[in-house]
Structures are given as structure tokens and as C-alpha cells.
Amino acid sequence: MSKSVEKLLIDVGSTYMKVSTSGHVEQHFRDFNQDILDDLVNKCGDTLKRFEKDDVHICSSANGGLTTLIIGVTQSFSLKYATNIAFNSGINIIDTILYQNIEDYSVPSEPVDVVIIVGGIDSHSELFSDSLYCYLEQLTYSNIVFVGSEKDAPVIKSKIDEVVVLPNIIDNRLHIVEEHLKEYLTNLYQQDIEGKEDIKHLYDITNNQIFSTPYIVNKALPHIDARFAVVDPFILLDIGGATTDIHYSKDLVDENIVTENEYDRLVFKKLGVYKSRESLIFSAKDNEFVYELLMHLKVTENILEEHSKRATKILMQLAIFLVLCKTSHYRKAYINLKLLAINSIVFTGGITKVLNQEEVEDIVAFFYKKVLTSEHKPRSIIDNNYDIWTLGAKELEACQ
């Protein structure tokens, strides 16, 4: 019989650090003048001392994620499938290029973490030619992966140095095949986290692999009803300092891409209230309903320039509103969720420390009324004790 040992779970975010022991969660603001490990030791040294390296589990969302550029031959298949897989692996897409028009696209000036090339079913060939190689010569990237027709793979390999060739993401019935590319991207993401100097030092206190936080949260979703009275279907919003993640079950999407995962995830890299505060404000100003929302909250737009507790609250409220807008039919984004069909919205992340139930419900109701012109009221559930993350971390540990 195995004895259940108490575990220490640590989440390093861009803004907060959370440390959880059985039944108790402590939370601290990050001190950016210190290395993460030093910061952690200073703040929770006593707790850390109580645990063996084997019993410490750490996840992090502090690295902000990887960027990708996708080159594919059609919008309906190659680009759509690769985009779907990249999003679900937590990767930020900086652009998608329709190959036949590649000469018309400008080359991104900033380096790209990974380039994905895709096109054609396995029995088709010669989908790419010199214009691809010319484009790539001008681009700065760290990784490149080919997931198109297997017949084209040898040519691609001979023309592009260090290209990784994986099985086609389009099968012979034109359906999506997720697993290989997803695994590759998830591993890159993982390596990126581990490669960050700051994170590397954390291996001084754990013998376990350090995972990305969204991955952990995703693991918790199928078990969420163990902790909360969540009524299906639901969405989960993780609103933090640098990013906002939305997790949703597949049946909420109109898209008929059939995949094996029950839950998908979308990361809005530029919607956060601290690190990406500027871009949050920018997207808010771009939204026609926001002024009305500010009026509803009885503040003026000057609040956006303030650095106060009140301003943080307003930014959090804006973040909820903007994410809901971005996934509704009102804004044509990457996905449109059936928001009128959901019964619960679960909130987790830094937001739960800033807003109370009433303040959250107020925004949700405003969104449904103004944008969807509906009286629909999904239940708002606030995970203010980080139960979801604890659940995910435990789930993962159980799988290991």
C-alpha cells in the first residue's frame, strides 16, 4: 500500500506566485528584482524546507509562450488545422501565410520561435517551390517543422536545413490529425519554459518536471465538478497579469473539426492587467461597447491611465468583457463559442483576488445584455482558493 505523502504545489505566474500545501494556499506578488528561486525562498522558505524534492511540483506561465508563423496551401484545411493545433498547444500565432500568395506577404521583423509548413494529402506532391525557400531565407526563426504531404517531405528536407518532418496533419479523408504536431509544439513550449534561466534554478527544489500552467488547468477540467457545483456546459477564464486563457469544451464550438480532446484552450497573449496592460487598454479603446461599460461602472476613461486598486479592478472587468466579446459572434475571431448555451463561467487566476462575485456577475450580465441582447445568465463561479490549479496538479501527479 502506498502512503499518501503531503505535496507542495507551486505556480509561478508573471505577477503572482502561489504555494499550496494540503488545504492551504498562500499567494505572493513577484519581486522582479530577484531571481524566482530567491524570491520564493525569501517568501516561503519555511514551507519549502518541510518538503523533499520529490514532493514538490511546479508549474509556470511566466514565460509568455512561443510564437509561430504558419505557411499553408489553403484556408479551409492546412491553415485552419495548423492554427487549431497551435492554439491548443498554447502557441501564439503571429501570422498565417497562404502559400500561393507568399510573395505578397511581408517578412516579420522579429524572430519567430517556430515556423510550421503544411499542405496536401499524402498522395499529392509538388505543392511547394522556390518561393517558399526564398521567403524562409529572409526570415529569422529558431525551429521549423513540416507537417504536409509525405511525398513532398524528401524535397523539403533537402532544401531546408534542420527542418523537422512529422506525419501529415491532414489525413486522406481531409480530416485533421492532431497528435504529432501537438506533441512537438507542447514539447517546444516545455523546453522553452525549462530553458529560461530563472526557471532552471527551480530544479534545485524539485525533482519533478516543471509544466506550463495552462496545461495543468486543462488537466483539471474533466474533474472540475469534484470541487464546484458547475453546470455543464461551461467555460473557464484564467485572467492573469500577462495573458488571459479561455478553456472551453469542444461542443461549444460551431467548427466541425473532429479531434480527440474534450477541452480546448485559447490564449489571448495580449490581454493581461499588469504585463500586457497597454495592449489590454488598446483593445478596450477599440471596442465600441467599452465606453458604455465604463459609464455603467460609473468611471471615466481616465481610470485607464491610473495606477490604483480601483483601476486594477476596472481592468480586470474589461478583460472579462473583452474575452467574451472576442469569442462571441460579435467579433469574428479564431473561434466563436456558443455563449448562449453555456450554464456556468468559472473564473480563476489573479482575477479571483481582485474581483468579488457581484463585480464579476455585473460584467457578465452587461455582456449578455449589450452584445448578445439576451437575458441569459450563466452562473459565475469564482475559484478564489486556486482549487482548479491544485486539482490539475494533483491529476497530473496521479498520471505520472
Partner 1 sequence: MKVVTGVVGNDIHVVANRLIDLSLRARGYEVFNLGVNTYLEEFFDAVVETGADVLLISSLNGEAEGWGREVKPLLTQYKKLDDVVMMIGGNLVVGRGDPDEIQRKYKSYGFDLVCHQIDLNTGLDMLETHLEKRTQESNA
Query: What residues make contact with partner 1 under the rule CB under 8 A?
Result: 73-78, 100, 119-121, 123-125, 170, 173-174
CB nearer to partner 1: give 20 or 168: 168
Distance CA 31, CA 193 (A): 19
Measured from the CB of residue 70, what is the shortest distance to partner 1 in angstroms? 15
Query: Which is nearer to partner 1, 119 or 241 (by Cβ)?
Result: 119
Minimum CB distance to partner 1, residue 74 (Å): 4
Nearer Cβ to partner 1, position 175 or 223? 175
Nearer to partner 1, 335 or 391 (CB): 335
Q: How far is the CB of 172 from partner 1 (least distance, A)?
A: 8
Cα–Cα distance between 34 and 39 in angstroms, integer?
A: 6
User: CA of 5: how far to CAs of 45, 213, 265, 351, in Å?
Assistant: 20, 23, 32, 31
Of 100 and 140, CB closest to partner 1: 100
C-alpha cell belonging to residue 37: 528561486
Return the residue matching grid coordinates 529572409. Answer: 138
Q: How far is the CB of 342 from partner 1 (least distance, A)?
A: 25
Q: Which of 300, 277, 367 is nearest to 331 (CA)?
A: 367
Closer residue to partner 1 in complex, CB, 44/102:
102
| Angle, CA 90 vertex, CA 39 and CA 265 arms, to 5° | 110
Minimum distance of partner 1 from residue 207's CB (angstroms): 46
Distances in Å between the Cα of 343 and the Cα atoms of 85, 275, 311 are 27, 31, 29
Q: How far is the CB of 82 from partner 1 (least distance, A)?
A: 12
Give me the least distance between CB of 77 and partner 1, in Å please: 5
Residue 105 beta carbon to partner 1: minimum distance, rounded to whole angstroms: 15
- 174 sits in the region (left: phi over 0; alpha: psi -120 to 50; else beta) called left
- Amino acid identity for residue 71 in this structure: I
Least Cβ distance, residue 100 to partner 1 (angstroms): 5
Report the distance separating Cα 295 and Cα 305, nearest Å. Answer: 16
**Pairing status of strand 244-249 against strand 164-165:** unpaired
Encoded amino acid at 88, one letter: N
Q: Which is nearer to partner 1, 180 or 200 (CB)?
A: 180
By beta-carbon proximity to partner 1, the closer residue of 3 and 173 is 173
Determine the Cα–Cα distance for residues 181 and 76; give it in Å rounded to an integer.
Answer: 18
**C-alpha dist (Å) from residue 345 to 284, 318, 364, 365, 369:** 21, 16, 9, 12, 16
Long-range CB pairs of 372-376 (<8 Å, 24+ gap) are 372/328, 372/330, 372/339, 372/340, 374/340, 376/340
Q: Any residues with CB less than 8 A from the CB of 149 and at least 6 apart, and which?
A: 119, 120, 121, 122, 123, 124, 125, 127, 168
Comparing CB distances to partner 1, the nearer of 173 and 307 is 173
